Structure 1
Amino acid sequence: MREYLVRLVQMHESFRKAELQALADVSGVEMHIIKYEEDSPFCVIGLPSDKAAHAMISRSILSQGIYELWGHGRNYNALHASIKNLSPSKWNAYHETPFRFTLDSFRGSRTPTEQRDIVESFSYLEFAGPIRMKEADVSFRVFEDYDHEAPEPKYLYMGRFISGSGRHAKTMYDLKKRHYISTTSMDAELALLTANIALAAPGKFFFDPFMGTGGFPIACSHFGAITCGSDIDGRSIRGTGGSARKGQMGKKDVEGNFRQYGLEERYLGGFVSDLTNTPLRITTPCGNEQNGGYLDGIICDPPYGIREGLKVLGSREKLGDKERATHHDRCKEPTYIPPKRPYSFIAMLDDILAFAASTLVDGGRLSMWMPTANDEDIELVIPTHPCLEIVSVCVQPFNKWSRRLLTYRRLSDSEVSQDSLHMTKKEYETGIKADELNGFRRKYFEGFKEFQKLRLETATGRRVSDESTELEKTSN
């Protein structure tokens, strides 16, 4: 094992280790994390070779690049001593090579004079090749890691550049440049990151049961996967504007998004469905002797039901024979909109896991976004299934709530405990109103009210009643 330094980006910190491990898994690379801190963008890992380092980092979204680590220390004297101790056997290979030497200061800065003095302090490496700041054959970089407003760095690294990351893809797929989006389209960076953690890759088949305008399938197809999706609202798939078949201008739809990026050959299409009424083949339940799964990955951002209640296809009331016959005739009409009935939020999460357990291949992954509150009394329990193992839980915090990316691995039947298969049937929330069927939605608004009340009491220094006019104004 050789040591490498990954220059991470300092954002989405709880996702970074999960992505690194997923990149190692999808590349078939053995990796060990040697040093990692959430407050720092510098991560030291162990890898077998430069080739493995390139294969792993080339599709990373939350890193800038990877470097062969030549030395490290708490100050420049310690850094120079480390380089002279760890890497002298590597120096001669670059003696006559055109090179460049740069400085990366995280949360700190150096004047041009200071930068020059730092670079010249490495003259003992005796690089005699020409200096080329552009198109150099080999690049070296010194990394300084500062605490906030500290005058001197707390730690230093020096390394040889191996490979850049795939972070440029977030700009390529930027929603501002996309052909067709909606108000719920997932940010391109997070969609690509989710596809990485789900192990999207060439030769794999991925499905999104809540595809909307196709953000997740596009991200998976970017990494080489064959994709398809469904949505309960056919309008989001069909899009708006003219007819693509007739060549009319102005047509905006999911298929057009794939054409925009040259990915149409990796898109099988989308269809109108919900998870409880899917036309996809459901295999035998987990725990049988052989898994008949066919999906390599399921990646989705289910509706949270905050702005409006969750619904699935179906009538609110049981239909008689005459009514059923009427619906059967009407469904053939072009303007027909199928009826929908209320749906429990917790039941939806469990249905997603059950669907994944019945359709994923052994080792296949489900990556699902799920909301939760920052208040422990409101936080939702992570759903589980006996045939699915939780791989990682990543959190994106907001003001008073967060959302988590939950990633599961489909266990082989030999790994499933037979005792765990005999689960007690759950009792889900019942009712016809959104709040009755969605505990998160109900607690979300209750928590918001209490949060505003507490903030107002803190600001005014006096107790505020629930009926206070001031509280109502603040909540609005």
Structure 2
Amino acid sequence: MANWRKFILWFAQEHVDFRVQEFDSLVKMFGLQVRRLTEHTMKPFWLVEFRDTDTALQYASRSISLRAMFELYAHSNKLPEFHQRLRNHVTENWGTLAEYFRLESSFKIVVETYNKHFSQKEKVEKIESMDYLPIEGPVNLKNPQVEWWYIEFWGLNPTAVPPEPEEIMFGRLVANGQRHLIKELSLKQRKFIGNTSMDAQLSLLMANQAMVRDGDLVFDPFVGTGSLLVSAAKWGGYVLGADIDYMMVHARCRPSRITQKVREKDESIRANLKQYGCADRYMDVVVADFSNPVWDSRISFDSIITDLPLVI
């Protein structure tokens, strides 16, 4: 029988308004069993319970908002209580934790603070305050086999920092989110872009909210330069789009890059999909007025996602 396990979710402080929606969408898409223990969703650190570790890893495998996820060992808002809980957790769960404290397991301990700066000396003191942990392996700061994180959260208001941390947490790193895709799909290196091309992070978040999964048929009725198609295809969707702007769809509009005078012949939405290894998921794009649908009534889309045009 699976046991509920507690985790710390560390979120990036970007597009925070999408955080809850993305989380709920991924939970629904994968059918995950989860309990959210943190009430204030604007906090960068959430405490959650997943049904098991595999469930937690499923969530991390798609989240763009998530920076990293840690298995929770101890949590408190008072230092003495925190240390006692950490001691108790290691003692009570030694059977499952022993492998992470082995003599041959290299490790590092990271001290992370939010809304508070620690000097290197203060960070070392925090680490030394946990000298009761039965760590035996060698320190490896570049590529450790085990990472433990000590985290202090000092509130969200930089002008009214509390005298003591609001939360103190300690856990083992188990997974990173998928934020590497933001750089991988960056507009800076993309073949075909326009003045209104959506940034990679936002388009990935929208595709997650649309719960795009492998094999889905995804449509963008205001496709522009295809940013949403790129993200949907990256998640496994087969993509197609439409737009009334002939010049944009066929990449004949003026270049938006300052250093570029004319469009290259091979610029296109299809070229963008090919650039990211998703050419096999590109269906087509057409010039069409959204007010006059051109699709056969038998076509059924799994997802329709778009950035609505600004009407003045």
Q: TM-score, normalised by structure 2?
A: 0.88
The answer to whether the 8 Å contact 2:87/2:132 transfers is no
Q: Which residue of 2 aligns with 1:77?
A: 80
Structure 1, unaligned stretches of length 5 or more? 242-247, 284-292, 307-476
Percent identity over paired residues: 28
Stretch deviating more after TM superposition (85-94 or 6-15): 85-94
* 1:49 equivalent in alignment to 2:52: yes
Q: Which residue of 2 aligns with 1:444?
A: none
Q: Which amino acid aligns with 2:25?
A: A
Q: Which residue of 2 aligns with 1:210?
A: 222
SS at the partner of 1:123? coil
Equivalents in 2 of 1:166, 1:104: separation in Å? 20
Output the aligned Cα RMSD: 1.8
CA drift at 1:26: 2.5
**Counterparts of 1:162-173 in structure 2 under 5 Å?**
162-173=174-185
**Counterparts of 1:109-258 in structure 2 under 5 Å?**
109-147=117-155, 148=158, 150=161, 152-240=164-252, 250-258=265-273
Equivalents in 1 of 2:300, 2:90: separation in Å? 48
The answer to whether the 8 Å contact 1:36/1:44 transfers is no
Q: Which amino acid aligns with 1:15?
A: F
Query: Number of paired residues?
Result: 291
Deviation sequence 1:397-419 (CA, Å, 0-9, x none): xxxxxxxxxxxxxxxxxxxxxxx
CA drift at 1:87: 4.2
CA drift at 1:179: 1.2
**Counterparts of 1:33-432 in structure 2 under 5 Å?**
33-88=36-91, 89-90=93-94, 91-96=97-102, 97-147=105-155, 148=158, 150=161, 152-240=164-252, 250-282=265-297, 294-306=300-312
Work out which of the residue numbers 23, 28, 48 in structure 2 matches 1:25. Answer: 28
CA drift at 1:249: 5.4
Equivalents in 2 of 1:34, 1:172: separation in Å? 33
Deviation sequence 1:236-271 (CA, Å, 0-9, x none): 111139xxxxxx954321111112212111110101
Q: Which amino acid aligns with 1:256?
A: A
Q: Which residue of 1 aligns with 2:258?
A: none
Equivalents in 2 of 1:87, 1:69: separation in Å? 11
Q: Which amino acid aligns with 1:5?
A: I
Equivalents in 2 of 1:184, 1:39: separation in Å? 28
Structure 2, unaligned stretches of length 5 or more? 254-262
Equivalents in 2 of 1:35, 1:225: separation in Å? 33
Q: Which amino acid aligns with 2:225?
A: T
Equivalents in 1 of 2:164, 2:118: separation in Å? 10
SS at the partner of 1:131? coil
Higher relative contact order (CA 8 A, sep 6+): 2
CA drift at 1:36: 3.9
Q: Which amino acid aligns with 1:227?
A: V
Runs of 4+ in 1 over 4 A off after TM superposition: none
Stretch deviating more after TM superposition (203-212 or 149-158): 149-158
The answer to whether the 8 Å contact 1:70/1:159 transfers is yes
Q: Which amino acid aligns with 1:74?
A: N
CA drift at 1:304: 2.1
SS at the partner of 1:218? helix
Equivalents in 1 of 2:33, 2:90: separation in Å? 23
Equivalents in 1 of 2:265, 2:216: separation in Å? 33
The answer to whether the 8 Å contact 1:240/1:253 transfers is no
Q: TM-score, normalised by structure 1?
A: 0.58
Equivalents in 1 of 2:293, 2:90: separation in Å? 58
Q: Which amino acid aligns with 1:64?
A: R
Equivalents in 2 of 1:11, 1:258: separation in Å? 26
